[in-house]
Structure 1
Amino acid sequence: MSIAGGIILIMLGAIFTWAVEFDLAGFDINVLGVILMLGGLVWLLIALYRANVARRAVTSPTTVVVEEDPVTHRRVYEERRYDDPPVV
């Protein structure tokens, strides 16, 4: 809902700014629309940042023992990092 909430606020702000013709004494609906659009933009940027941080936190390196020498007991490790985004 985070990203969708920011987009919804931007859309509501655009509607109030350019599509609504409403006058009230001491209240400007266009200013409210601009404030909503700016708030939606900030909300969207924070949501994208949080999604990016959460995606990075999930990907951790995986260590796999590839082979082990029975005489010297030396192990060869292979470390894989899955940094690419998942293919959908």
Structure 2
Amino acid sequence: MSKPVLTDFFATWCGPCKMQTPILEELGKKLGDAIEIRKVDVDQNMEAAMKYGIRVVPTLIIEKDGIVMQKLEGVTRADTLESILRPLIDE
């Protein structure tokens, strides 16, 4: 059984991205090993950003078994992310 992967597409110059980071850290502490959190700098990984159609940072992509389950643009609250991820963890 694979765990959900949350990928944070961000840029170092992006103010809202700096706001998203502590939210993801809190989420990581709360959900622990049940999820994997990855960070992708869009300026350094343009190929990955193009693959996922990233136009806005921050953008969060939630995948399960290699399938994109959700794409969230802008700063997203921890409780919103948890409500999306919990059912994917329990599958």
Category of TM-score, reference length = shorter chain: under 0.3
- Give TM-score scaled by structure 2 length: 0.25
Structure number having the greater helix percentage: 1
- Give TM-score scaled by structure 1 length: 0.26
Structure number having the greater strand percentage: 2
